[in-house]
Amino acid sequence: MIGWHVYILRCRDRTFYTGIAVDLWRRLEAHRRGVAAKYTRGRRPVTLVYEERQPNRSSALKREAALRRLGRAGKLALIATRRSLRARGDVHDAVGVDRHP
């Protein structure tokens, strides 16, 4: 099954960028080259700090909107929770991309 990724990037200026992609590897590389989004272009380097899979584009767009509404504190809490679960082995990486700040 091909799904969609919803992801959060931390930019050089410590802000967050939330997006969706089918091919997360390719999208992350585009962000790193400065050709993916105007927002991240001037805020490189970017680091992937959170990602999750959604079954289709509609679900991914809805989840992206929900994550954007969280605000900074909510995103930090989500990222911390995900890291805690990963450290315990309860969450496995969907893609092998460096997510460390």
Query: CATH number, domain at 49?
Result: 3.40.1440.10
Per-residue pLDDT at 82: 79
Domain assignment present for residue 63? The answer is yes
- Kindly state whether residue 95 falls inside one of the protein's structural domains: no
Which residue pairs, CB below 8 angstroms and at least 24 apart, start in 23-29? 24/48, 24/51, 24/94, 24/95, 24/97, 25/95, 25/97, 28/97
Looking at the structure of the chain, the number of domains it has is 1
Asked if residue 101 belongs to a domain, the reply is no
Per-residue pLDDT of the chain (101 residues; tens, 9 = 90+): 579 999 999 999 999 999 999 999 999 999 999 999 999 999 999 999 999 999 999 999 999 999 999 999 999 999 998 776 666 655 544 444 444 33
Half-sphere exposure of 10 (CA within 13 A, CB side): 13
Residue 9 belongs to domain spanning:
4-88
**Is 41 a domain residue?**
yes
Within a domain: residue 98?
A: no
Is-cis flag, bond preceding 101, omega within 30? no
**Does some domain include residue 99?**
no
The whole-number pLDDT of residue 1 equals 52
34 occurs within a structural domain:
yes
CA pair distance 68, 71, nearest whole angstrom:
6
